[in-house]
Amino acid sequence: MGEPVIKDEVIEEDFNVMFKNGEYVEVKQEEIEQNPFVENNNSEEFPEEIKLEPKKSDSEIENVSTEISALKCKICQKRMPRNSLKMIKSEDDMIVLTAIFDVEVFKEYIATYVCLSHIQAIIDDNEAILKFAGTPFEKCLRLFIAKNKRFIRVRTLQRGICKVCHKLKPLSESYTISSKNIRAVIMIGCILRGTHSVEQAKYYITNNNGSTCYSHRKESIDMIFEYLGISNIQEFFKCPRISMGGLVDIAKNFDSDFTVDQFSRAFHSLYMKKPKNAPSNS
């Protein structure tokens, strides 16, 4: 009989590597289990002392950016884009704004902004009636009007200030009304709504320059329909002339020559002057 063959039995054991006494040594898995303080260099976990800070969301960054870009008007306290505001620096501006709006406009070391619509309202309300500057304040007001008209003209090359609400609007949302009679119809609606006085209506119908929001067209049409007790243009054409007399009387307060025929034609023209993509019944 030959000598028995002794086979080498290979016993597989799990080893891990650790750095000890300046060199890498192999450590059995069972030793690691017995000693939980042995460092495992293959572990991908973070130590408990290290805490990852959560990443800020894009919405939080956008909110911060919006707050920075949107500034607050000193008068109405509304936040709006920088291009809709003016920084108040000159003494003339401070005097006029403080007197008219009864606010303390200027504080040292604090940038103060005011809506262009407030500045435009001062120009519209005072330019026509301020023929002479007799008092120091009137002189200051005339300077304010002249200076800020130039400022707004430059600022609004691509946008227009509505002569009805004095707000800065994109040109796509407004249009110029060249007809004095159509402007009178707009003002009839505004007076019915209680938003404008006779003096403001006089200024608006005599001002050939400037734009008007499309929204004011619809507001005036709706108010006139309501006054006449009708709901569409077909019913308007069936209205007796006497029923339009009250509307014409309103217009005569700021245009003494206004007639029923002028009102009827101007109202129809205003109704047909629809903005793009407007529904047929608007």
DSSP string, 233-267: HHHHHHS-GGGGHHHHHHHHTT-TT--HHHHHHHH
Return the pLDDT at 159. 61
Asked if residue 82 is part of any domain, the answer here is yes
Kindly list the distances between the CA atom of residue 193 and the CA atoms of 71, 222, 268, in Å, as whole numbers in the listed order: 31, 10, 20
Measured between alpha carbons, how far is 114 from 97 in angstroms, rounded to an integer?
9
SS3 275: coil
Q: Is the model's pLDDT at 131 over the cut of 80?
A: no
Q: Are residues 240 and 177 in the same domain?
A: yes
Return the pLDDT at 234. 94
The residues, ordered by sequence, that sit 6+ positions from 244 with a Cβ below 8 Å of its Cβ are 228, 260, 263, 264
Q: Is the model's pLDDT at 34 over the cut of 70?
A: no
Cα first-last separation, the chain: 115
How high is the mean pLDDT of the chain? Answer: 76
Q: Is the model's pLDDT at 192 over the cut of 50?
A: yes
Q: Are residues 223 and 138 in the same domain?
A: no
Return the pLDDT at 45. 43
pLDDT level of residue 166 (50, 70, 90 thresholds): confident
Q: Are residues 141 and 172 in the same domain?
A: no
Among 145, 192, 141, 183, CA closest to 164: 183
Residue range(s) defining the domain that contains residue 170:
161-282
Asked if residue 196 is part of any domain, the answer here is yes
Residue 50 backbone dihedrals phi, psi, to 5 degrees: -95, 120
At which of 155, 178, 209 does a domain end? 155
Q: Is the model's pLDDT at 57 over the cut of 90?
A: no
- Residue 262: Cβ within 10 Å count: 19
At which of 155, 181, 208 does a domain end? 155
At which of 113, 133, 155 does a domain end? 155
pLDDT level of residue 110 (50, 70, 90 thresholds): low
Q: Are residues 79 and 109 in the same domain?
A: yes
- Residue 11: Cβ within 10 Å count: 5
SS3 content of the chain, % helix, strand, coil (to 5): 50, 15, 40
- Residues 245-268 have a mean pLDDT of 95
Output the pTM of the full model: 0.48
Q: Are residues 90 and 183 in the same domain?
A: no
